[in-house]
Amino acid sequence: MLDVTLHAFVTVMGISSSPFVLIALAFVGAFLGSKLVEVIPATKRIIERREAQWAERQ
């Protein structure tokens, strides 16, 4: 288990030395984060409430 963890850590450290890879990872992380927020029920309700409040104001 430790061997696999260390191997993954070393691989990530090698990849993170390139700024282009870091930018690509940031975009992928932002995309997946936005999709995850839409799937989680609690955050989905918060978003729906904010949209409803915004619609009432207009």
Largest CA distance in the chain: 58
* pLDDT band with cut points at 50, 70 and 90 for residue 46: confident
Task: Give the model confidence (pLDDT) of 13-27 as tens digits.
Answer: 777 677 887 788 889
In the predicted structure, residue 31 carries a pLDDT above the cut 90 = yes
pLDDT computed for residue 20 by the predictor: 83
pLDDT computed for residue 3 by the predictor: 82
Q: What are phi and psi of 17, to 5 degrees?
A: -75, -15
Contact yes or no for 23/30 (Cβ under 8 A) = no
Distance CA 36, CA 51 (A): 18
CA atoms in the 13 A half-sphere facing the CB of 4: 1
Distance CA 54, CA 19 (A): 39
Q: How large a percentage of the chain has pLDDT more than 90?
A: 10
Q: Over range 39-52, report the average pLDDT.
A: 85
